[in-house]
């Protein structure tokens, strides 16, 4: 993806962060290709082993065995040739899903869509060592690097994750909330697309996913009303398209509640459209939109 195709605001700092993050992602191509080749080799070896067992069990003629083995060899060679393109496509998809889309959430759905905040969102997964932090600081400034480092710190210690989210700065909380909204929206899009392509299959959320999302958003709630409203929207959307019985509701004081049960009041089946969940400020998005 090129920067001018991303939909991000045209800004030198944002474009530089985009290019750096993109290059950082593609660094993984060599290792990813090695993993791909190893997997293809294992699959090929298993197929050949199965063919050998079939030959021994059924006394397959040598000619048939040779032809089938040659087909397996050709299929394996073709897969290895396709490897670089397939790995490249996968990395580009990951870059869009994990870096560009959260940055778009920040740009479109935050009260503070500054260039520094959007750049920090793009760079969050680019800090994995003190040297990375130093490089990002030199290229993009201490504030951008500091926010990105806070996000890396939150996920670096799973056992302290909730505490680290509470103690994070308001800017880091905004970025993390944009991430949660983006990943939740990605899931909703995948489920919606799968339902159109394979209507006979029903994709469900992993057990406990709704409760974990609700727990994650608690320390972040209230720092940015627009991002709050966006998360509220995509959470309830993913629950709807997945058939989940959970939903979010906001109380009169702006607090967030996870409730379970049908949106249609019990015992009422008059064909009327059920009411949607009550959003921040009394409606979806409250006084934000």
Where b means 16+ CB within 10 Å and e means fewer, 164-175 reads bbeebeebbbbb
Rg for the chain, CA atoms, rounded = 24
Residues 122-132, mean pLDDT to the nearest whole number: 93
pLDDT tens by residue, 73-83 = 999 999 999 99
What's the whole-model pTM score? 0.78
Q: What is the mean pLDDT of the chain?
A: 87
Q: How many CA atoms lie within 13 A of 251 on its CB side?
A: 6
Residues 213-220, mean pLDDT to the nearest whole number: 93
Sort 53 into a burial class: Cβ within 10 Å, 0-12 / 13-18 / 19+.
exposed
pLDDT tens by residue, 154-206 = 988 888 988 999 999 999 999 999 999 999 999 999 999 998 888 888 888 89
Residue 286 pLDDT:
32
* Max Cα–Cα distance, the chain, nearest Å: 78
DSSP track, 14-45: HHHHHHHHHHHHHTTHHHHHHHHHHHHHHHHH
Band of residue 269 on the pLDDT scale cut at 50, 70, 90: very low
Helices of type H across the chain:
12-26, 29-58, 62-95, 101-109, 115-123, 130-140, 142-156, 161-167, 170-197, 209-217, 225-242
pLDDT at 266 over 80: no
Domain boundaries, the chain: 9-156, 171-264+274-289
Residue 145 pLDDT:
96
Residue 265 pLDDT:
38
Q: What percent of the chain has pLDDT over 90?
A: 67
pLDDT tens by residue, 4-49 = 999 999 999 999 999 999 999 998 888 889 999 999 999 999 999 9
Band of residue 262 on the pLDDT scale cut at 50, 70, 90: low
Residue 281 pLDDT:
42
**Spatial distance between the Cα atoms of 213 and 209, rounded to a whole number of angstroms:** 6
């Amino acid at each position: 993806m090129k920067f001018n195709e991303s939909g991000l605001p045209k800004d030198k700092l944002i474009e530089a962060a985009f290019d750096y993050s993109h290059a950082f992602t593609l660094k993984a191509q060599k290792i990813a290709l090695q993993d791909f080749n190893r997997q293809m080799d294992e699959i090929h070896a298993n197929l050949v082993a199965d063919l050998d067992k079939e030959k021994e069990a059924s006394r397959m003629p040598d000619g048939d065995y040779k032809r089938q083995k040659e087909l397996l060899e050709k299929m394996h060679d073709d897969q290895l040739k396709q490897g670089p393109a397939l790995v490249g496509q996968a990395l580009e998809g990951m870059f869009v899903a994990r870096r560009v889309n959260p940055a778009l959430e920040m740009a479109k759905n935050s009260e503070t869509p500054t260039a520094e905040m959007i750049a920090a969102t793009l760079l969050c997964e680019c800090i994995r060592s003190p040297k990375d932090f130093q490089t990002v600081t030199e290229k993009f400034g201490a504030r951008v690097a500091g926010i990105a480092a806070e996000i890396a710190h939150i996920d670096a210690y799973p056992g302290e994750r909730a505490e680290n989210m509470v103690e994070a700065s308001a800017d880091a909380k905004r970025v993390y909330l944009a991430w949660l909204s983006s990943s939740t929206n990605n899931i909703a899009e995948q489920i919606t697309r799968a339902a159109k392509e394979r209507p006979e299959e029903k994709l469900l959320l992993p057990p406990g996913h709704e409760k974990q999302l609700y727990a994650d958003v608690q320390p972040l709630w209230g720092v940015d009303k627009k991002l709050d409203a966006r998360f509220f929207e995509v959470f309830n959307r993913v629950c709807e398209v997945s058939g989940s019985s959970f939903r979010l509701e906001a109380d009169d004081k702006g607090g967030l509640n996870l409730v379970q049960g049908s949106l249609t009041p019990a015992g009422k089946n008059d064909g009327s459209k059920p009411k949607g969940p009550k959003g921040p400020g009394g409606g979806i998005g409250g006084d934000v939109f």
